[in-house]
């Protein structure tokens, strides 16, 4: 459902600048207009992901900022006599924090949208393993294309001493974009043609990383079908679980733990995940070692 725009309260917007502007009505109108522009920008960029709850949250944050800014004063408006400098600085800091919270929320919405798009792409590809396999195959194919292109250029220079139209046609026959063809047919700063050695080195490194990721995903799929049970360790008020299906170590609590406990969990490399709804990190030998130390620490 498309989010519906709800304007800021005009009186709240006016009062927010009553102590800092000679024309609070105009400044209030500017706040309302800026909020509307931000709403429209998010609606266009995020599309259907931008729901009414997000629009309402944005409006609430903006209203909170306006209310906090209403307590801020300027000596140009109130006069310099007995002006509460320290108190006003503190109130101004609170207002600035609320203002920054608006931008942080907008950034969070964009980040959540990217994650949602990624999850949808994984689902459309038939799972992460299938998607990563396709990406690996595409990377390997492109690597071979670059090598073939360099071989064609070397052969052309050996026979013709230059890159001819026939050479360009052969490169286009490799399904290389025409603009890319012209780019690799122009000499670089060292007088070389084709794809430079560092491009092939970087391509090899990407393929190596993708291959390792595919191997991990294969192991995860094997764990899902193996019937092996997750290892669970009890801690005070919760559990630490080796989740074989997701290849992650999760720290769960029956209730939200105290700040000191959260700091301990974060100190061992675990981070809160909105997707999993738990403190988690990828299952690696180092992570298992940290989990064992964490269980020992929390049980003391």
What is the total count of domains within the chain?
Answer: 3
Q: What is the mean pLDDT of residues 16-39?
A: 94
Claim to verify: residue 248 and residue 189 sit in the same structural domain: no
Domain-ending residue, one of 166, 200, 225: 225
Please report which confidence band the pLDDT of residue 202 belongs to, taking 50, 70 and 90 as the band edges. Answer: very high
Domain for residue 81, yes or no?
yes
SS3 of the chain: the string is CCCCCCCCCHHHHHHCCCCCCCCHHHHHHHHHHHHHHHHHHHHHHHHHHCCHHHHHHHHHHHHHHHHHHCCCCCHHHHCCCCCCHHHHHHHHHHHHHHHHHHHHHHHHHHHHHHHHHHHHHHHHCCCHHHHHHHHHHHHHHHHHHHHHHHHHHHHHHHHHCCCCHHHHHHHHCCCCCHHHHHHHCCCCCCCCCCCCHHHHHHHHHHHHHHHHHHHHHHHHHHHHHHCCCCEEEEECCEEEEEECCCCEEEEEECCCCCHHHHHHHHHCCCEEECCCCEEEEECCHHHHHHHHHHHHHHCC
Q: Are 235 and 292 in contact (CB under 8 A)?
A: no
Q: Is there a domain that residue 136 lies in? A: yes
Domain identity same for 34 and 63:
yes
pLDDT for 223 equals 73
Is 97 a residue whose pLDDT tops 80? yes
Give the residue-averaged pLDDT of 113-140: 91
Final residue of a structural domain among 197, 225, 253: 225
Region 197-223: mean pLDDT is 90
The pLDDT of residue 237 is above 90:
no
27 and 88: one domain? Answer: yes
Q: With cut-offs at 50, 70 and 90, classify the pLDDT of residue 42.
A: very high
Give residue 298's pLDDT. 86
Is 230's pLDDT higher than 70? yes
Biggest alpha carbon–alpha carbon distance for the chain = 89
Segment 27-55 shows an average pLDDT of: 95
For 71-85, the pLDDT digits (tens) are 998 888 777 777 888
Q: Is 3 among the domain residues? A: no
What is the structure's pLDDT at 79?
A: 77
Please compute the mean of the pLDDT values over residues 150-167 and round it to a whole number.
86
Question: Is residue 184 included in any domain, yes or no?
Answer: yes
CA distance 111 to 123: 19
Tell me, yes or no, whether 4 lies in a domain: no
Do 167 and 61 fall into the same domain?
no
Domain boundary among 194, 225, 256: 225
Instruction: Give the residue, 112 or 246, on which the prediction is more confident.
Output: 112
Which phi and psi angles does 251 have, rounded to 5°?
A: -110, 115
Does the pLDDT at position 57 exceed 90?
yes
237 assigned to some structural domain: yes
How far apart, in whole angstroms, are the C-alpha atoms of residue 48 and residue 185? 44
**Residue 220, pLDDT score:** 78
pLDDT of residue 138: 95
Question: Residue 53: pLDDT above 90?
Answer: yes
Q: Which of 58, 51, 60 is nearest to 4 (CA)?
A: 51
Separation CA 64–CA 279 (nearest Å): 30
Give φ, ψ of 241 to 5 degrees.
-120, 130
What percent of the chain has a predicted confidence (pLDDT) above 70? 99
Asked if residue 82 is part of any domain, the answer here is yes
What pLDDT does residue 114 have? 94
- The pLDDT of 12-22, averaged and rounded, is 92
pLDDT beyond 70 at 7:
yes
- For 191, the token pair is 């007088």
Domain containing 248 equals 231-298
- The pTM for the full model equals 0.65
Query: Are 155 and 89 found together in one domain?
Result: no
181 and 142 both lie in a single domain: yes
- Domain-embedded: residue 2: no
Indicate whether 227 pLDDT > 70: no
């Amino acid at each position: 459902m498309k989010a519906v725009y709800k304007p800021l309260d005009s009186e709240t917007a006016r009062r927010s600048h009553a102590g800092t502007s000679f024309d609070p009505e105009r400044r209030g109108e500017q706040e309302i207009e800026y909020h509307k522009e931000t709403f429209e920008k998010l609606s266009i960029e995020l599309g259907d992901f931008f729901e009414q709850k997000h629009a309402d949250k944005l409006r609430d944050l903006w209203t909170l900022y306006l209310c906090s800014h209403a307590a801020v004063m300027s000596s140009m408006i109130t006069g310099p006599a007995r002006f509460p400098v320290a108190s006003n600085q503190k109130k101004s800091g609170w207002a600035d924090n609320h203002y920054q919270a608006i931008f942080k929320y907008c950034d969070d919405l964009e980040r959540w949208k990217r994650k949602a798009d990624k999850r949808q792409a994984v689902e459309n590809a038939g799972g992460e393993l299938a998607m990563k396999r396709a990406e690996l195959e595409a990377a390997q194919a492109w690597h071979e294309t670059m090598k073939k292109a360099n071989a064609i250029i070397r052969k052309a220079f050996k026979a013709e001493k230059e890159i001819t139209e026939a050479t360009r046609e052969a490169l286009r026959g490799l399904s290389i974009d025409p603009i890319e063809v012209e780019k690799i047919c122009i000499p670089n700063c060292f007088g070389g043609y084709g794809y430079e050695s560092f491009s092939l080195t970087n391509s090899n490194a990407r393929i190596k990383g993708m291959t390792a990721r595919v191997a991990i995903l294969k192991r995860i799929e094997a764990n899902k079908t193996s019937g092996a049970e997750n290892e669970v360790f009890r801690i005070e008020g919760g559990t630490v679980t080796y989740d074989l299906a997701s290849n992650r170590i999760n720290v769960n609590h029956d209730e939200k733990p105290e700040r000191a406990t959260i700091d301990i969990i974060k100190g061992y490399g675990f981070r809160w995940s909105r997707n999993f709804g738990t403190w988690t990190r990828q299952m690696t030998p180092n992570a298992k070692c940290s989990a064992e130390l964490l269980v020992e620490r929390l049980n003391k």
